Amino acid sequence: MTNSSSDRPGEFELIAQLFAPLSAKAAGAYGLTDDAATIQPPPGQELVVTADLLTAGVHFRADDPPALIARKSLRVNLSDLAAKGAEPAGYLLSLALPRDWTLPWMQSFADGLREDQNAFSVALLGGDTTSTSGPLTIAITAFGFVPAGSMIRRNGAKLGDHVFVSGTIGDAGAGLAALVGELANISAADRETLVSRYQVPLPRLALGEGLRGTATAALDVSDGLLADLGHIAGTSGVRVVIDADRIPLSLAFKASGGSVSLAVAAGDDYEIAFTVPAAKRDDVRRVADQAATPITEIGRVEAGAGVALLDSSGHEIPVSKTGYRHF
């Protein structure tokens, strides 16, 4: 953003011009002309609610293209819904804008939201805007539906379960490293692949819906694979053991020179990590095929506590950092 002219629209003009059109497909949004929205779950469905706060310099780079910032902000929330097995229904958007925001920047931001709303069949339901002397901050609350009682929680992992993860791990962390100039000796194609994984994550919605009734526990990988599996281990009262040589790594990540220890702690992958009973291993592979989403079995659930990363000899690999910590 750069210093703007004094003829920027006011808050309500900005909403009417850029954001009200994003609510057109949601009757309960009332064209963003009210202070609240209404959501009516279909019969037999429950409402799933999730929220993420993203800040420039922490979750995205302040000079990233505004359309990509918008798309990532929405997608990380859709990823949370995916890990719960929910079908997205809509979202609230609140913005704390630096005082030098410009209308072209905001137009591009809204265009990014529109693109992904169309891609994922969701609509804006409301929100708020304010100014700040600090960095750009984006708060999204997303809503989805699941059949009553079917939301996949973190605390259901059982002894003997097998641990799976979708996609590949570590790409987003390597993409951020590329953006800040830490990866010099990679091809342009590999750099583009890794940067895209950081800036535009892919929520695994079809896989998440298919995991209902099959996965015993699930979450999306946001802070780092080991850190996030630690949440499953902690809430389920079990130990999660991961085989390092089974962690799925992309060719682009390998070309970047990244290690498995780096991949499992990097975060921002927004893949789904989940546990499945042994009897349902074939079922989950069929679900993944139907969702056109690659999955990899990477470990198991045992008695004990915490998360362990093992080498090919079964020895634990010391990991100094398991993931991103906000505090």
Report the chain's mean pLDDT, rounded to a whole number.
94
**End position of a domain, from candidates 147, 180, 195:** 147
Domain assignment of residue 5, yes or no: no
* Whether residues 140 and 168 fall in one domain: no
Res 8: pLDDT: 77
Secondary structure (3-state) at 274: strand
* Whether residues 206 and 85 fall in one domain: no
Report CA dihedral (312, 313, 319, 325) to the nearest 10 degrees: 60
Distances (CA, A) of 83 to 266, 273, 274: 19, 8, 8
Task: Read off the CATH number of the domain in which 20 is found.
Answer: 3.30.1330.10
Cβ atoms of residues 199 and 59 within 8 Å: no
* Whether residues 202 and 290 fall in one domain: yes
* Whether residues 66 and 171 fall in one domain: no
Residue 1 has pLDDT above 60, yes or no: no
Q: Hunting for tokens 């209902």 — which residue is that?
A: 212
* Whether residues 138 and 188 fall in one domain: no
Cβ atoms of residues 77 and 116 within 8 Å: no
Percent of the chain with pLDDT over 90: 87
Task: Read off the CATH number of the domain in which 296 is found.
Answer: 3.90.650.10
Secondary structure (3-state) at 30: helix
Domain assignment of residue 109, yes or no: yes
Domain assignment of residue 319, yes or no: no
Domain assignment of residue 157, yes or no: no
Res 6: pLDDT: 54
Distances (CA, A) of 95 to 8, 103, 135, 207, 251: 16, 14, 11, 30, 37
Cβ atoms of residues 284 and 214 within 8 Å: yes
* Whether residues 80 and 126 fall in one domain: yes
Domain assignment of residue 322, yes or no: no
* Whether residues 140 and 37 fall in one domain: yes
Q: Which domain holds residue 76?
A: 11-147
**End position of a domain, from candidates 97, 118, 147:** 147
Domain assignment of residue 101, yes or no: yes
The reported pTM is 0.93
Give the pLDDT confidence of 66-91 residue by residue, as tens digits: 999 999 999 999 999 999 999 999 99
| Residue 142 exposure: Cα atoms within 13 Å on the Cβ side | 28
Phi, psi of 99 (to 5 degrees): -65, -15
Cβ atoms of residues 172 and 269 within 8 Å: yes
- Between 188-199 and 171-179, two packed helices, what is the crossing angle to 10 degrees? 110
Residue 46 has pLDDT above 90, yes or no: yes
Domain assignment of residue 81, yes or no: yes
* Whether residues 131 and 32 fall in one domain: yes
Give the pLDDT confidence of 150-160 residue by residue, as tens digits: 999 999 999 99
* Whether residues 166 and 130 fall in one domain: no
Give the pLDDT confidence of 169-220 residue by residue, as tens digits: 999 999 999 999 998 889 999 999 999 999 999 999 999 999 999 999 999 9
Q: Quote the number of domains for the chain.
A: 2
Phi, psi of 153 (to 5 degrees): -95, 175
Res 14: pLDDT: 87
DSSP letters spanning 176-234? HHHHTT---SS-HHHHHHHHHHHHS----HHHHHHTTTT-SEEEE-SS-HHHHHHHHHH
Alpha helical stretches, state H, the chain:
11-14, 66-83, 103-120, 171-179, 188-199, 205-210, 225-236, 251-255, 260-266, 281-290
Residue 323 has pLDDT above 90, yes or no: no
* Whether residues 137 and 167 fall in one domain: no
Domain assignment of residue 100, yes or no: yes
Cβ atoms of residues 232 and 273 within 8 Å: yes
